[in-house]
Amino acid sequence: MLNSKQRAYLRGLANNLETILIIGKGEITDNIIMQADTALTARELIKGKRLESSAYSARECADLLAEQCGADVVQVIGSKFILYRPNPDEPVITLPKAKNK
């Protein structure tokens, strides 16, 4: 689970990312889930987009993919969403630490 400081950090990193995952009018298939899983393993942070013809909302797409891939939803704005999952073997992104209370 990400805290707000970590989400803000990841949103900043995602500004320059290209959208690599596009959800069209079909269902979210095993192929799309596999593509998202592979991209998350390689990049840790990915940006996706839901097309107008999709039966799902952007939030539904993000939540479904996050659940299937074991990722966290960083942000959903309009038709775009950002997912994050750290690579357990070779992490690329170092998140800011949470404050101790």
| pLDDT one-digit tens code per residue, 62-90 | 999 999 999 999 999 999 999 999 998 88
* DSSP strand pairing (19-23 vs 45-50): parallel
Give pLDDT, residue 27: 83
Model confidence pTM above 0.85: yes
Give pLDDT, residue 32: 94
Q: Which helix (H) or strand (E) holds 67?
A: helix 58-69
For 9-53, how does the pLDDT look when each residue is reduced to its tens digit (9 = 90+)? 999 999 999 999 999 988 899 999 999 999 999 999 999 999 999
* DSSP strand pairing (45-50 vs 72-77): unpaired
Contacts of 4 by beta carbon, 8 Å cutoff, 6+ apart: none
Give pLDDT, residue 88: 86
